[in-house]
Structure 1
Amino acid sequence: MKIGLAIPTYNAGTNLNDVLEKIVKSSINIDRKIIVDSESKDQTVAIAKDKNFEIYSIQQKTFTHGLVRKKISEILSDCDYIIYMTQDVYVEPTALENLVKYIAEHPIMAIAYGKQSVDMNKTDIFEKKDRSFNYPDYDMEKSYADKEQLGIKTVFSSDAFAIYRRAVLLEVNNFPEKLNFSEDMYMAAKVVKAGYTVGYCSKAIVIHSHSYTLKDQFRRYQSIGEFHGQNKWIQEEFGTNEKEGLKSVFSEWKYLIRNNKPLKIPYSIMRTGVKYLGYKSGTRKGKN
């Protein structure tokens, strides 16, 4: 069993040193560690070289999330498993080992993703709640048969920290080169339709924090909407995002009340509205 790990990078900054250091000091040996850089202008490549990562490049003007991950699968052609990460994810000491063991123990599991927590010094209570909603404290193996119960969550996954069986990735025709958002959900839907499962390992823990403004949220959900407008088959097959979104909103309000933060509910309503407008705007754009 040979394992490769890959991170697409662009101007990752000095924080990349800590990201890579935690990978190097992980409790499991990774056979090949690479970055695929999009013409960074900072010290990204130098930092990666210092940590003994293999360096590859992709033109910034041609970059898409699908293209770079397909390129990674070609570079790591000698690997049985590929761990995809992003440049802002910090692995806990046993995260990589737990993720590898988890997928290896499940023969028909094509993809597995880990649990994302946040650093509260870098984000807010809303991001913390989003993470707990999407990343519970129990493991899951999701198959096509679960779509009636789980809906669109059946094919939820995250390439911020995920592992793929490379052979299955090739079997379902790899990442589409033109896909530029939600490539993780796209591939999860493909493997589930092909009869494989998608796993979630709650013991594979990483720290992944964002601090989105309302403008950032609008753009993010616009991209999600555009993706679903272009790939209508996913919601037709597994259910709508809006239904899952409503569950998330009501869960967030209950969470704020339980944590004595009821005065944040008006901001939550505004935040939800911005997401919805962005999503609908993107959906219309994707259909055109």
Structure 2
Amino acid sequence: MEKKTVDVIIPAYRPGEGWKLLLRGLEGQTWPVHRLIVMNTGEENWEAAYEKTTIPMEVHHLTREEFDHGKTRDQAARMSQADYLLFMTQDALPEDRHLIEKLVEAIEQEEKIGAAYARQLPREDCRLMEQYTRQFNYPEKSRVKWLADLPELGIKTYFCSNVCAMYKRELYLQLGGFVKKTIFNEDMIFAGGLIQKGYGVAYAAEAKVVHSHNHSAIQQFHRNFDLAVSQADHPEVFDGIRSEGEGIRLVKKTAGWLCRQGKPWLVIQLVWQSGWKYLGYLLGKKYRKLPRWVIDRCTMNPKYWE
């Protein structure tokens, strides 16, 4: 049987040294990349050296005003003729040569699976608390999530991350693709709609990328504000599904893990960060009641509001 084709789609903004590592990681995959489609924000920041790869690559430049988390990725998807679309971010590095192969295996295990996303492993410089968050959100065991899992998993039923996620192109187009204007969270919005229509989303623990951030409490506040705005804007997906319970469970599990690591004093930092995350989430949920100047100070995407 002929191998299914995979196009990799990456939104880029000022790619640096990590870009070369990402290209090398994609070049060495056991499942070859058919084409690499790069949606680069800011042509002035792009260098010809960034295109040095054995993978067929095409680069499309756009301005900061034109970039949108959903629309930009959707534009790239519609340029593809491949069987599968693999969306990645420029700071996600394949952990080994089997990333694409394992994602294809996960998406092909059942006909009704429409998407599969990879496990994210912490970087070497990852802080202790964030290391546990990676374990919590990306466990060692794979699973496929269906609508029937909603009572057990809640909001995590719809979880999917375009840091590294694969979609069946024909189904993606059939369902309308990513929402064309969104502040954030285009992956979960699409995955939620996918699951509501009877399809499954596979979490492929064997497909691994190295990706983590050491966000400050204020950065977490901004991020959670935008996350909650995206949920408030899409009640057709998120209405009636509470996220707070999952957040509380993460805090409790992290506190216990920090104590077991012999670092109980870090629980104070955990409470501080979690408080800012929760405040950002609460304000984002109620953003329609906030004056514009407050929104401008809460968001991490000011251009979205212009």
TM-score (structure 2 length as normaliser): 0.89
How do residues 241-260 of structure 1 correspond to structure 2 at under 5 angstroms? Answer: 241-260=243-262
Q: How many Å separate the matches in 2 of 1:8 and 1:47?
A: 17
1:187 aligns with 2:207: no
1:20–1:263 Cα change, 3 Å = same
* Letter of the structure 1 residue corresponding to residue 252 of structure 2: F
Misfit runs of 4+, over 4 Å: none
After superposition, residues 198-277 of structure 1 pair within 5 angstroms as 198-237=201-240, 239-277=241-279
SS in 2 for 1:136: coil
**Distance (whole Å) between structure 2 residues aligned to residue 40 and residue 87 of structure 1:** 16
What residue number does 1:59 align with?
A: 63
2:282 — aligned with what?
A: 280
8 Å CA contact retained: 1:172, 1:194: no
- Given that residues 119 and 206 in structure 2 are in contact (C-alpha distance below 8 angstroms), is that contact kept between their aligned partners in structure 1? yes
C-alpha deviation, 1:40, in angstroms: 4.6
Distance 1:270 1:39, change over 3 A: same
Alignment of 1:42-57 (within 5 A): 42=45, 44-51=46-53, 52=55, 53-57=57-61
Aligned length: 284
Q: Which residue of 2 aligns with 1:22?
A: 25
The 5 A counterparts of 1:118-137 are 118-121=122-125, 123-137=126-140
Q: Deviations over 1:104-161 (max 9, x none)?
A: 222111110010001132x201111111000011111000011111111100010000
Aligned residue in 1 for 2:294: none
- Output the aligned Cα RMSD: 1.4
What is the CA distance between 1:41 and its match in structure 2? 3.7
Deviations 1:69-112 (A, max 9, x none): 11011111x11100000000000221111111221222111110
Equivalent in the alignment of 2:104: 100
Q: Secondary structure at the match of 2:65?
A: helix
Task: Report the CA distance between 1:7 and its aligned residue.
Answer: 0.4
Report if the CA contact (8 A) 1:86-1:161 is conserved. Answer: yes
Could you state the TM-score of these two structures normalised by the residue count of structure 1?
0.95
Q: Secondary structure at the match of 1:56?
A: strand
Matches within 5 A, 1:144-183: 144-183=147-186
Of 86, 99, 124, the match for 2:89 = 86
Unaligned runs of 5+ in 1: none
- For structure 2, the residue ranges without an aligned partner over 5 or more in a row are 291-306
1:286–1:24 Cα change, 3 Å? farther
1:112 aligned partner:
116
